[in-house]
Amino acid sequence: MAKRKRRKTSKHQSAVSYIVILVGMLVVCIFLAQRVVSLSAKSKELSKEEAALEQRIEEAKLEHDKLAAQEQYMLTNEYIEDVAKEKLGLVFPYEIIIRPNE
């Protein structure tokens, strides 16, 4: 009879061990699922941020091109003439100035 008691105890311990292992695995699975959801949300957020930054890069490139074109224009004689006419009121000797009556 003593042997039977040991077998029952070992079967009982074996069942408890399986339950503990199962609960442990369940806890690990829940933790991993939570982590996957969290990382997925962060991934979406980072994708949106990446798209916004790429848009800003494109805008900066366009602004750079615009400034480069303006710089090239400012190095021409046409720009110097335009500034002299608009800001200083200078004209070439062969030009005739016509002003409207006020």
pLDDT tens column, 59-93:
999 999 999 999 999 999 999 999 998 898 888 88
What are 23-55's pLDDT values in tens digits?
999 999 999 999 999 999 999 999 999 999 999
Contact criterion met (CB below 8 Å) for 99 and 93: no
pLDDT of residue 101: 81
% pLDDT > 90, the chain: 66
- Six-digit token pair at 18? 């399986």
pTM above 0.75, yes or no: no
Residue boundaries of the structural domains of the chain: 2-86
